[in-house]
A = this chain, B = another copy of it.
Amino acid sequence: MTSARNPVPDPSAIGFAAHDHADCVETAIAAAEARCAAEKLRLTPVRRRALEILLQEHRAMGAYAVLEKLNESGFGSQPPVAYRALDFLVAHGFAHKVERLNAFVACTRPGESHAPAFMICRICAAVAEAGATVAPDALGEAAEASGFTIERTVVEAEGICPACSEKADA
């Protein structure tokens, strides 16, 4: 992946604002463990580590970037290792796939059932998950009118994040 395609965003800028990162990782992992226990999901070592990686990096990561980190932690080095762990996380809402980037990001609202919406900076590739569920009503209506049953909706806005916006001004 070239830097032009996948520039590395400022890790401290999630949701485009600073935050207590160590705390945010711990909290999310704990929440995931609790939910897996409650719902009899198996948060196995690879899966747990994959979630940790996404949380620690706090940005959208390609499956192969996650794979590399997993491998450094002693897990397999082949693509399916990463894809399977990521599939699990996505399937159960611990992470999301950002279709626009073919990348994955830890959910910032775990526990709340939601259709995620993202804001993606086209300069620095920072990704922020919108706070509220953002379901376009008009689409639901169009779907109903045509007999289409919506199961999942991808909403991804591309543009310029506050940080890059400021840099451009300077």
Q: Does A112 contact B (CB under 8 A)?
A: no
Task: List, in ascending order, chain B residues with CB within 8 A of A149's CB.
Answer: 159-160, 165
In this complex, the member of A132, A135, A139, A152 whose beta carbon has the largest number of chain B beta carbons within 10 angstroms is A139
Chain A 8-38 per-residue mask, 1 if CB under 8 angstroms from chain B, else 0:
1101001111000000000000000000000
Q: Does A119 contact B (CB under 8 A)?
A: yes
Least CB distance, A104 to chain B, in whole angstroms = 14
Q: How far is the CA of A161 from the CA of B147 in the complex (A)?
A: 7
Task: List, in ascending order, chain B residues with CB within 8 A of A162's CB.
Answer: 146-148
Q: Does A87 contact B (CB under 8 A)?
A: no
Number of chain A interface residues as a range: 35 or more
- Judging by beta carbons under 8 Å apart, are A146 and B16 in contact? yes
- Judging by beta carbons under 8 Å apart, are A130 and B119 in contact? no
Chain A 115-150 per-residue mask, 1 if CB under 8 angstroms from chain B, else 0:
001010110000010111111101100110111111
- Judging by beta carbons under 8 Å apart, are B158 and A151 in contact? yes
Q: Does A153 contact B (CB under 8 A)?
A: yes
